[in-house]
Amino acid sequence: MRRKLRFISAFLVTGGIAVIANLVPYLRTRGAYQYDGQEVAGFPYEFRRIGGDCWPATCETYHFDLSYFAADLGLALACALAAGLIAASIGKEFR
């Protein structure tokens, strides 16, 4: 039971870190498209981008790349799974 708990804990912590890592670029650049900047989301692959060098009223440059989103999601799940497996196999068993 402790191995399962360690796996779930490590999986959730690593998944949370991946969510935060993907959310930070968005929170840091939110609203930047109104001032000739780019609002982005995603780490390490930027899967969402809006804005650029344009007027705020006519800034229609919106890009969402589904393949980058899938790669980003797959990488996060793989890292979380690896962390969970490592945590489950390394921990001590108390009996």
Under 8 Å between Cβ of 54 and 61: yes
Per-residue pLDDT, averaged over 52-81, amounts to: 83
pTM, 2 dp: 0.77
pLDDT at 32: 75
Band of residue 45 on the pLDDT scale cut at 50, 70, 90: confident
Collect all residues with Cβ–Cβ distance below 8 Å to 41 and sequence separation of at least 6: 22, 23, 25, 26, 47, 48, 49
Per-residue pLDDT, averaged over 39-66, amounts to: 77
